[in-house]
Amino acid sequence: MVPLLVVLLLALLLFGAGFALKALWWIAVIVLAVWLIGFIARPTVGGRRGRWYRW
């Protein structure tokens, strides 16, 4: 009985980790797309192209 519970718990843990990693990959792709769009479409400040971020 205990080995079955350990296997089920391990499967649940690996499933949860896989879902979390997939979600993090999608978030990273979205952030990269927003950064690229902001880099290409930089606003003009004082007649010259400026930075779109504040760091």
**What does the pLDDT read at residue 27?**
92
Q: What are the residues whose beta carbons fall under 8 Å from the beta carbon of 53, sequence distance 6 or more?
A: 38
In a domain, 35, yes or no: yes
In a domain, 16, yes or no: yes
Q: Which helix (H) or strand (E) holds 48?
A: strand 48-49
Global pTM?
0.57
**What does the pLDDT read at residue 43?**
62
Whether residue 55 has pLDDT greater than 70: no
pLDDT tens for residues 1-50? Answer: 788 888 888 888 888 888 888 888 899 999 999 888 877 776 665 556 56
**What does the pLDDT read at residue 29?**
92
In a domain, 15, yes or no: yes
d(CA 31, CA 17): 21
In a domain, 55, yes or no: no
**What does the pLDDT read at residue 47?**
57
In a domain, 37, yes or no: yes
What range defines the domain where residue 38 resides? Answer: 2-49
Domain count, the chain: 1
Which of 6, 42, 8, 40 lies closest to 51 in space, CA to CA? 42
In a domain, 54, yes or no: no
